[in-house]
């Protein structure tokens, strides 16, 4: 981590070895988790906000991938906000790996994991892009794209890229945003957008700002984000019991 220097990545300030521990001193990031901030903010939250967050996520990934590093555990809990709440900070590199190594280990969190990781095939940095697509879908709808009664059903839908854009959730979302997600949820990782291509997509282009919905999402959106975060916390706690 010491060689990572990017405005959207939490930096490692120092590292010390002790007889029993390795002590990592990380950059102080006190803005809290991204989704918690969306829930607690007083002002409205719109597609434009989702776009700006997504662009920062893709910028961090483009930098990591240019160094040949896959994060492998991209999820909302690992997206923190800077003190001024304006910048995303990607953290938790416990599963990160250089793609020069053979990547075959199934890791990450079920609802964000890419098809190639589930199928136990070798994979590369493109697995992070799939996870970014899942987060983008949630940022726009407050729902997950691949849901099911159990993990097996969720994995089956992921492996077939079986998702929809329900009008009740995406009725006010631009076609640019939907196209962005479509080009990420591609089962074949070689045909999936790269982080660099994501940054050049029309949805993340400031020139198209006027084509986006600036109207804040309904208050129900924040309630659904809250339900989502609480359900994920519950699953995490029960898994640890």
Which pLDDT does position 201 carry in this prediction? 96
* Backbone torsions φ then ψ of 24, nearest 5 degrees: -105, 125
- Dig out the tokens for 104 from the structure: 């075959």
State the Cα angle at 15 between 9 and 21, rounded to 5°: 120
User: Options 1.10.357.10, 1.10.510.10, 1.20.120.1630, 1.10.8.60; which CATH number does 31-212 get?
Assistant: 1.10.510.10
Catalytic residue check, 101: no
Two structure tokens written together for 196: 């660099």
Coil, helix or strand for 76? helix
What's the CA angle centered on 60, arms 190 and 73, to 5 degrees?
70
Active-site residue, selected from the candidate residues 49, 73, 179, 210: 73
Tens digits of pLDDT across the chain (241 residues): 557 788 999 887 677 788 888 777 777 888 889 988 888 877 788 899 999 999 999 999 999 999 999 998 999 999 999 888 889 999 988 777 887 655 556 666 789 999 998 987 778 899 999 999 999 999 999 999 999 888 899 999 999 999 999 999 999 899 999 999 999 999 999 999 999 999 999 999 877 776 666 667 777 787 888 888 887 764 554 343 2
The C-alpha atoms of residue 190 and residue 167 are separated, in whole angstroms, by: 30
CA distance 124 to 185: 16
């Amino acid at each position: 981590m010491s060689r990572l220097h990017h405005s959207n990545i939490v930096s490692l300030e120092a590292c010390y070895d002790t007889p029993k521990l390795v002590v990592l001193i990380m950059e102080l990031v006190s803005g809290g988790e991204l989704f918690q901030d969306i829930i607690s903010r007083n002002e409205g939250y719109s597609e434009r906000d989702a776009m700006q967050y997504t662009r920062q996520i893709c910028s961090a990934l483009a930098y990591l991938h240019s160094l040949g590093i896959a994060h492998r555990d991209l999820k909302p809990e690992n997206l923190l906000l800077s003190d001024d709440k304006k910048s995303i900070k990607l953290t938790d590199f416990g599963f990160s790996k250089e793609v020069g190594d053979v990547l075959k280990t199934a890791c990450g969190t079920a609802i964000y994991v890419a098809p190639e990781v589930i199928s136990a095939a070798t994979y590369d940095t493109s697995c992070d892009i799939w996870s970014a697509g899942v987060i983008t879908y949630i940022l726009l709808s407050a729902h997950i794209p691949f849901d099911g009664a159990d993990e097996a059903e969720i994995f089956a839908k992921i492996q077939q890229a079986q998702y929809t854009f329900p009008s009740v959730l995406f009725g006010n979302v631009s076609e640019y945003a939907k196209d962005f997600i479509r080009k990420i949820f591609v089962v074949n990782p070689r045909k999936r957008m790269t982080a660099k291509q994501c940054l050049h997509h029309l949805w993340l282009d400031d020139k198209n700002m006027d084509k986006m919905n600036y109207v804040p999402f309904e208050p129900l959106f924040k309630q659904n984000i809250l339900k989502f975060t609480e359900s994920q916390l519950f699953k995490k706690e029960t898994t640890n019991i």
